[in-house]
Amino acid sequence: MEVSDVRSQIEVLLRQAGAAHKLAFAETNSADPDWPGWYAGYLSERMGGLLPLGLGANELRSLLVLADADHRVQAPDADWPAYYASFFLTNAKSVPMFVRS
């Protein structure tokens, strides 16, 4: 599968997660201090084979936190799902071992 196809699939999943999160936290105006944990739980099974084997919810949570920090500094006006998808593909193999399940 082409990298651009994988990136597009991850981006779609991130958009779906964003919409589901917005619905789940509608009463709090989407405020969720543990949003990385929620997104990781939502995405972990849906990601399937899109990221390297061995990446579970803990690793996805770490990638989300790292992607968010990078996005805020490097490209705060960029479309976040597209930015995160690219970040995931570039950095998924470098998730620190201490956070691996």
pLDDT digits over 7-46, tens only? 999 999 999 999 999 999 988 887 899 999 999 999 998 9
**Side-chain half-sphere CA neighbours of 72 within 13 A:** 6
| pLDDT tens profile 36-70 | 999 999 999 898 888 876 688 898 999 999 999 99
Instruction: Provide the token pair at 35.
Output: 């949003």
Q: How many structural domains is the chain composed of?
A: 1
CA distance 41 to 79: 22
92: domain range? 3-99
